[in-house]
Structure 1
Amino acid sequence: MEMVLCYLPHLVKLSICENLIQSLPKGFNELKKLQDFSISNNKLIFLPVQLSQLTKVLRADDNKLELLSDTVDITDNLCNCTMLKHLIIHSNQLTQLPAKIHRLKHLKEFSVSGKQLDSLGEQISHLKDLSKIELSGNALRYIPVEFKNCIRKTKADLSNKLSQFPNALCALFDLKPLNLSGNSISEIIPGISDIKDLERLKLKKNKLSSFSTFTKSNKKSYIGSLISYSREKCFTFLKSKV
């Protein structure tokens, strides 16, 4: 494959999914114009340095990734792909995110759903252009407060092992779909009403026993609206009789 790649210098998009690839050849460095690369469903255990020139899309899901690189230097190279917009690395064996992931400041989609991720770290708060984040199926028990700084996030999948409704989510005013299924949440906090643009909420397979907190908040708001509406109608009626 190495020699073939060397003679494709104008290649912009490449998909080699569902093969048995364990590493990339040196000739991969010659693909200077490559912007969209899919290597899903292979046998990679780390992302090699040859990927550092990617500028838009990287799909490396369903491999055997334990680290995002084989050395610290290569991790730096990957995180230097500052124009990368879509990073899909779900269904691997990652337990933590790289410390320098904040360098991917133009990242819009980040999918690291899968099996073993047990923490996010505060670095994720710097990914302020995110519009989609998928973290489902991991072992997260806590969402850091810094998560709220990703204020442009409009789609979040957080099906994990959370025991509480994450307070950080209540500051994500632009959040529209929110999936918190498959956690251990027993109560919905009143702050959820601050997510004004929320359109779809999934809470299946949790430990909720009632909607008391959520319903009470909504009921109070609803009754207040009715009282205001009734007063306005009554005033209008009396004014018309004068």
Structure 2
Amino acid sequence: MAKGKKRSKEAKGRKITLKMAKNALKPTTDGKRRLDLSNMEIATFPKCILKLCDVDELDLSRNLLKKIPESIDKFVNLRWLDLHSNQLEQIPQAIGRLQNLYSLNLCNNRLNTHSLPHELGLLKNLRSLNLGMNSIESLPASVSALKQLRELGLFNNLLTSVPGCLKNLPNLDKLNINCNPIPPDNPPELDPIKRVECLYLVRESCLCDDCLQRCKAKRERLDSKTSGSPVHKRSMFAGLMTPNSVAQEDEAVWR
């Protein structure tokens, strides 16, 4: 009986109260306010945080969220939204009303082509968009309206060609499109764009089993290549794995 109750509790996830949310408020390096509810086993978007909708940054990463409500548009001042490593299957149309947003991280979810609303194209101030580690086969044409976009993560998806809309992004200078089934006879025609793989360090306990095995295999391959090097720095990152998100270069402190 006790085991059954435990499974039920895990399915519902952790309940967040307004008091808990207030305690999770943190100042940013530039004097703004960030609500950090990451890695708290949250399965349902906590309605109580709508009372804190004046925050500038919202971190709901590494939880169990399957849905983000349309009420996300209450966060009118939001400039940074991190939803990576959840179980999201759909992004609400209301996301397009977050006009101050400059960074959106949707990495490592369950998104596909139909999960991305055309309203993404309304985020005219967006500088960084991470869609890596999903099941996306193509991007909505509205992405071509993101004229301020500078960094785009599309790694570990199901793209069979480089989305044509990327040619209409004049400020895009960093693109990660690794680990997609793009045929070798269809190379990307994006020479001016730096194709990079940025890393974001996370603890092993924050990764799902599939991602953990994938990262371990990649680390073993890297170790085998560098085993002959006189300096071996693996011990510096004990308990940390990469990657599951694109890091922000202009952040003064690792989030």
Identity %: 23
| Number of positions where the alignment pairs a residue of Structure 1 with one of Structure 2 | 171
After TM superposition, the score normalised by the length of structure 1 is: 0.65
After TM superposition, the score normalised by the length of structure 2 is: 0.62
The residue identity in structure 2 corresponding to 1:41 is N
| Contact residue 162 and residue 188 of structure 2 kept, 8 A | yes
Cα offset for 1:29? 7.9
Determine if the alignment matches structure 1 residue 175 to structure 2 residue 172: yes
Distance 2:83 2:181 in 1: 25
- The equivalent residue for 2:98 is 104
The residue identity in structure 1 corresponding to 2:169 is L
Which blocks of at least 5 consecutive residues in structure 2 are unaligned?
1-12, 27-32, 198-255
Which secondary structure state, in structure 2, belongs to the residue aligned with residue 110 of structure 1? strand
Cα offset for 1:199? 3.0
Cα offset for 1:164? 1.1
Superposition misfits of 4+ residues, deviation over 4 angstroms: 28-31
Cα offset for 1:42? 1.3
The residue identity in structure 1 corresponding to 2:102 is K
Change (3 A) 1:40 1:30: closer
Q: How does 1:74-89 map to 2 (within 5 A)?
A: 75-76=70-71, 78-89=72-83
Distance 1:28 1:201 in 2: 38
| Contact residue 132 and residue 156 of structure 1 kept, 8 A | yes
Cα offset for 1:201? 4.8
Distance 1:28 1:50 in 2: 10
CA deviation string 1:4-52 (max 9, x = no partner): xxxxxxxxxxxxxxxxx71221446878x87311111111112212222
CA deviation string 1:64-116 (max 9, x = no partner): 001114xxxxx32x212111010001000001101211111110110010131
Structure with the greater relative contact order (CA < 8 A, sep ≥ 6): 1 or 2? 2
| Contact residue 36 and residue 54 of structure 1 kept, 8 A | no
Which blocks of at least 5 consecutive residues in structure 1 are unaligned?
1-20, 70-74, 203-242
| Contact residue 111 and residue 135 of structure 1 kept, 8 A | yes
The residue identity in structure 2 corresponding to 1:199 is K
